């Protein structure tokens, strides 16, 4: 997903580019993507060809599976939105302020990347369960997070946070302070500056971070499985449905559900990409 805007378009063919070798690099890009992404994924699709259409449809549209799509995509969306807001906040603080221990805080952001997801899930469960550090105070209030869909969202927020912070941070660092100063001298309020000057310049990066956090959350298994509760129709995530099908040695059914997940994810990522392009055209992002 491009973060920087593409060079200005000059019509097709015969356009003078600054650097030669476009054909070669494009060829290499497609080749590499095929090896790493497309071939494994096409193997997945081919596995589903062993089913007839009705079988495929039955596998991917059973009530339990449908409930799991709603949960997985819904929880991922909520988690990515939360990360969008708070990830921006953290990136802002890390870029704009100096405080003791900043380096440590900066390093902490990457921890969810490094931690085995199962460890994350088990620690979160231990915190939030009725007898955990945090859960013991929430339970008497009737708030139960562990083994409920809410727990799934929390786990997904945890693993998705670094994506937003790390994509927005460099863009914020590059943002020109002079623009803000100019806006202030022209009498803009702080809110106006944020919404009219800062936000447009970081929106593409924000959207990229959001898309990554979302995509990662959709496929997440390890951290969620320990906190979800795994109740059919209520708290079963789609990756668990896939594992369940593999347990029945239903390879084709498992890949069918995986293919549906891929299609939905790809469609959503395309929408996010389109949003970026639209935003760029309208906001006239700084080139």
Site for other proteins in 113-172 (CB under 8 A): 122, 125-126, 129-132, 146-147
Q: How far is the CB of 234 from other proteins (least distance, A)?
A: 9
Cβ neighbours of 172 (radius 10 Å): 17
Q: Which member of 45, 62, 150, 197 binds other proteins (CB under 8 A)? A: 62
Question: Is 41 in contact with 175 (CB distance < 8 Å)?
Answer: no
CA distance 252 to 256: 6
CA distance 235 to 151: 10
Q: How far is the CB of 127 from other proteins (least distance, A)?
A: 11
Residue 232 sits in the site that holds other proteins (CB under 8 A): yes
CA distance 243 to 249: 10
Residue 230 sits in the site that holds other proteins (CB under 8 A): yes
Q: Which two tokens stand for residue 33?
A: 């993507």
- Judged by CB under 8 A, the stretch of 10-18, 89-97, 159-167, 228-236 that binds other proteins is 228-236
Residue 52 sits in the site that holds other proteins (CB under 8 A): no
Residue 260 sits in the site that holds other proteins (CB under 8 A): no
Residue 249 sits in the site that holds other proteins (CB under 8 A): yes
Question: Is 145 in contact with 199 (CB distance < 8 Å)?
Answer: no
Residues ≥6 apart with Cβ < 8 Å to 215: 265, 269
Binding region for other proteins (CB under 8 A):
58-59, 62-64, 122, 125-126, 129-132, 146-147, 225-226, 229-233, 240, 243-250, 253
């Amino acid at each position: 997903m491009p973060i920087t805007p593409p060079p200005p378009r000059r019509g097709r063919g015969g356009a003078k580019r600054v650097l030669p070798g476009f054909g070669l690099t494009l060829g290499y890009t497609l080749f590499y993507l095929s090896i790493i992404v497309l071939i494994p994924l096409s193997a997945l699709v081919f596995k589903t060809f062993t089913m007839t259409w009705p079988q495929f449809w039955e596998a991917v549209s059973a009530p339990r599976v449908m409930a799991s799509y709603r949960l997985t995509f819904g929880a991922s969306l909520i988690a990515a939105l939360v990360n969008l807001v708070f990830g921006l906040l953290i990136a802002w603080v890390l870029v704009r302020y100096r405080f003791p221990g900043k380096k440590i805080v900066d390093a902490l952001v990457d921890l969810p990347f490094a931690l085995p997801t199962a460890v994350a899930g088990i620690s979160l469960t231990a915190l939030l369960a009725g007898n955990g550090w945090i859960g013991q105070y929430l339970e008497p209030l009737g708030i139960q997070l562990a083994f409920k869909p809410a727990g799934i969202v929390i786990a997904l927020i945890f693993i998705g946070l670094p994506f937003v912070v790390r994509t927005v941070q460099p863009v914020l660092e590059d943002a020109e302070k002079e623009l803000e100063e100019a806006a202030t001298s022209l009498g803009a309020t702080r809110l106006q500056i944020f919404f009219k000057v800062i936000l447009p310049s970081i929106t593409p990066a924000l959207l990229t971070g959001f898309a990554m956090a979302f995509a990662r959350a959709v496929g997440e298994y390890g951290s969620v499985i320990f906190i979800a509760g795994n109740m059919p129709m209520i708290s079963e995530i789609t990756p668990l449905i896939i594992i369940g099908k593999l347990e029945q040695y239903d390879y084709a059914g498992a890949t069918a559900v995986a293919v549906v997940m891929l299609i939905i994810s790809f469609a959503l990522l395309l929408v996010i990409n389109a949003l970026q392009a639209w935003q760029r055209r309208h906001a006239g992002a700084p080139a």
